[in-house]
Amino acid sequence: MIKDFIKYLKTERNLSDNTLEAYRRDVNQLFVFLKHQEPRKVVRNDIRQYLGRLQQQGLDKRSLGRKLSAIKAFFKYALREFAITVNPVMGLRSPKLDKKLPGFLSQAQAVQAVESHQGDPKDKLRDDAIMELLYGSGLRSSELLGLKSRDLDLPGLQVKVKGKGGKERIAPLTRASAAVLKQLVVKREDEGFVFLGRNGNQLNRRQLQRIVKVRIRSSDYGGKASPHALRHSFATHLLDRGADLKAVKELLGHASLSTTQIYTHVTVDRLKKVYKQAHPRAGDEEESG
């Protein structure tokens, strides 16, 4: 039944292989805990006990929520497709997450990382293009890795991106991105993947993570060095410089504005600047006695 569920997710919801594997693993772990009990015999208390065990093992709220989401999706599917009459997860709520602001580099740190000479000199052109796209266009890792030469419109300074759920959008390119991409693909004879590893195959997530980590670590940024940190920086810096929230939503490829609103945090420097410019008592005058 789990195989049928994963097949359904792949064909009907067009989920990525990584997401499908996470769903498969999360649902399978439940039934291992239940000693492979038949789905129609599972009751709410079984699910509660499973989630309680995971909490005892120290699983964080976000991971618990993800597992419960996968389990809910499975039983929703089972109710519709198989002889199951009671939904054991009905009414169970995901744990409330602590609101966590995404980490981001300062503008100076981002420029420092993008222009860094760290990494293997043989791969510098490719790595430059990766950093320019992640910070200059705010692409997700999967979007960048999936790019093919035919997706690039370098004269038009734009690129066609395939986002979550297979949804396509047009993302802008900086002139720096277009210039380095032109050098990268100019000698290519096919329209295959833009970013390749040493073996000529498509670059994978682990390789991408390593490339970005080396570059970001060359700056003085102390947070988690990842491709997503550059995406966060892209959004934050746009908003810091006055970009409209709805426009940033479209640039990021978010389905909902509420997802983009997490980026409306601002740096202390910007708050101080706005305060100093706007408040009549916030000038440079020294305080009187």
Selecting among 23, 50, 77, 263, the annotated active-site residue is: 263
Q: What is the rounded distance in angstroms from the CA atom of residue 108 to the CA atom of residue 163? A: 28
Selecting among 67, 215, 231, 232, the annotated active-site residue is: 231
Q: Is 276 a catalytic residue?
A: no
Q: Is 169 a catalytic residue?
A: no
Query: Which residues touch 94 (CB under 8 Å, ≥6 apart)?
Result: 64, 65, 68, 69
Q: Is 164 a catalytic residue?
A: yes
Selecting among 164, 217, 265, 270, the annotated active-site residue is: 164
Tokens of 213: 């980590």
Selecting among 40, 228, 265, 270, the annotated active-site residue is: 228
Q: Is 231 a catalytic residue?
A: yes
Q: Is 140 a catalytic residue?
A: yes
Selecting among 72, 140, 213, 270, the annotated active-site residue is: 140
Q: What is the rounded distance in angstroms from the CA atom of residue 216 to the CA atom of residue 18? A: 25
Q: What is the rounded distance in angstroms from the CA atom of residue 84 to the CA atom of residue 87? A: 8
Q: What is the rounded distance in angstroms from the CA atom of residue 240 to the CA atom of residue 235? A: 9
Q: Is 36 a catalytic residue?
A: no
Q: Map tokens 């498509």 to a residue.
A: 202
Q: How many CB atoms lie within 10 A of CB 80?
A: 9
Angle, helices 61-81 vs 2-12, to 10°: value is: 100
Q: Map tokens 């440079």 to a residue.
A: 284
Which are the catalytic amino acids? 140, 164, 228, 231, 254, 263
